[in-house]
Amino acid sequence: MRDTFLVPLSFFRDNPPLLYAYDLVPSPVDDFPYQRVGYQKPYTLRGGRVVVPIYEAYQGYVVWGMTARIVHWLIRELEQPPLPGEGEARR
């Protein structure tokens, strides 16, 4: 992290991210404690495809990586219509 800065949620809502994808290829190394995290030899680590959202240029800043993934998820959640009964007063 280079800097900390504030961005209004409305910026993310009004400016959808660019979405880039890459292949995640596992590359086991000998000095990682696989046994401590539940893996036994032979290691069967799976690869996959990772989508990276990039929000460009809010006052010169770019939001990307894990921060952008969290923001992207949050904006999608906030845009969902409420479930039936949500928001009603409980009795």
User: Which of the four pLDDT bands, split at 50, 70 and 90, describes residue 90?
Assistant: low
pTM (2 decimals)? 0.70
Q: Report residue 65 as tokens.
A: 């990586």
- 87's CB contacts (< 8 A; 6+ apart) are none
Q: 14, 30 in Cβ contact below 8 A?
A: no
Total residue length of the chain = 91
User: Which of the four pLDDT bands, split at 50, 70 and 90, describes residue 64?
Assistant: very high
Which residue bears the tokens 């800097």?
Answer: 3
Q: 62, 56 in Cβ contact below 8 A?
A: yes
Question: Is residue 20's pLDDT more than 70?
Answer: yes
pLDDT in tens, 29-41: 888 888 898 888 7
